Structure 1
């Protein structure tokens, strides 16, 4: 009888654990994010490395000291999908004016593209915060010179509030400092395209490296 009781307890425990693991608010390491929480990157290997794609409603740091290596074209599939869904996308203080023909060729609806110029870092961070929290922008990209932890936390909260994904381009030296950003990627050129080292990702572990094939034609001019 004791053996039967043990079997029932074990079975009941397994069933309870199975029910628990099926809950949407519980994530198991190595599995994709729940549906709706991730936006496809357009690159299968990067989707896998990020646990399903770009997380929605978060701040993403793209760390690089170089321009024109594919750091913006990396996002073209996402930008096209967002404008196709009726969302606006914002470029805040870009180092170069986005090249409209390249955006259009990638499927981005130019009528939903906002380019915001600013006078200093404070204006850049303020404009990005407004774009992320507005609920009108699905994605916003920005190039601030400096951003302290308090400013980054405000941006993260704005992204959560607006259900938007913010991409912050920063120097590689920032990798040595902690950040409230949900995702942090280190970008560098590779022979085959863009080398992406994942330093931090949502509900998972960093360390993996992905190479995204080179895209002909740049976005910035």
Structure 2
């Protein structure tokens, strides 16, 4: 299993990028260092010029991979959702009890992320911080509908569908499975954000985690 995971490739919708950054050393350095730089200075202050300085390359070389920093953020978000989906499938496929499977899924998508050694050029722990703080900027735009039609968010939607199917496996008559699934996925990020920045308006502190909250929610709701 370990050998299999070591050759696993995370796939991102091809229309997001101009050239697949996974196909070259420069592309991987662009992705690796964009994560570090966005985490350091924030997405608003992030520019390809600053990234080029950080990796010792011309700004124009980055544009050969991504047409804008918005597309780069979409790439990072899609990569994260694909990686999360792989974690979700890996950790739930052998669980036959539907309630246990759903609880495990909720744990996977709401827990604090730890680095995965199978992807050496991407620090998942830092990427997760970007997802918590910045990922909504990848779709809260005027172009979201056209980008959705182009398939930019297919992985994100697929993760939500997987969770909704697990919800229905527990209670086939529950009428809001997709709404609950999307609430858990986005709510987990939001609770982690509140825990970090607005602790006075969340109970997720002092040993209580977002995972505890959402497992309590599904157990009482379903």
TM class by shorter chain equals: under 0.3
Quick check: which one's strand share is greater?
A: 1
The normalised TM-score by structure 1 is 0.24
Quick check: which one's helix share is greater?
A: 2
